[in-house]
A and B are shown apart, each in its own frame.
Chain A
């Protein structure tokens, strides 16, 4: 079971600033463990961010994104109570979706 994505949303000057920290190993499949065994690739491939049901950002990741990926960006407008949903799917088909309300 994956850990929640930490999401921060701040209303600022007519925009909503979003910061998020995903919990994921982002293994590229080339690294070896202490016994010299190759660690299989395991990385987030697809991310979507929605506000009140509308997609504001759709992203594809490769394994060059760092472990526990970080994203920050800004969307126009917004109000207290907006629902922000951050979803991901990885190369093993695991998915996760986390929701916050803009304070």
Chain B
């Protein structure tokens, strides 16, 4: 590892990490496309979000597991985990269908990371949760219903 790479990694905390690496010529432009998918995050319909993610034709997969409560009392913080048994999982995206913006988070996994992530999300009301997994450039999807007692995107 040369010192320039080290400096770039340090700077990466403050700016787009992959775009910085790309500018420095350290990663290929293909890798830099992993930068934030702005269109997906700004999408306010599920269709737009899936289109921006290139996931409209994602194959349904039983190898993706979404763990979430059947009934969430408090939509402000619903514990959710997504794990994938699909070999070479490189990305996991979580979408909350009934929220104002559909994409909650996108995780780009290194080879060192086990393909499982736990987090907490807001749910405006009862909703379907979608998990997308990208592996070797292909997209797979799973869905799960969560009933919400008190919504959590309050206005």
Contact = CB atoms under 8 A, between A and B. Distances in A.
Contacts of B106: 59-60
B110 A55 contact: yes
A62 B107 contact: no
A28 interface: yes
A64 B121 contact: yes
A74 B34 contact: no
B78 to A, nearest CB: 8
Contacts of B30: none
A60 B37 contact: yes
Interface residues of B, number: 43
A62 B12 contact: no
Chain B CB within 10 Å — which of A30, A55, A60 has the most? A60
Contact of A61 (B78, B105, B155): B105
Given A32-B155, A62-B104, 16 more contacts: A15-B114, A28-B101, A28-B122, A53-B1, A55-B9, A56-B112, A57-B113, A60-B36, A61-B105, A62-B103, A66-B119, A73-B118, A75-B113, A75-B114, A76-B112, A87-B14
B110 A31 contact: no
Given A46-B36, A72-B118, A74-B114, A67 B103 contact: no
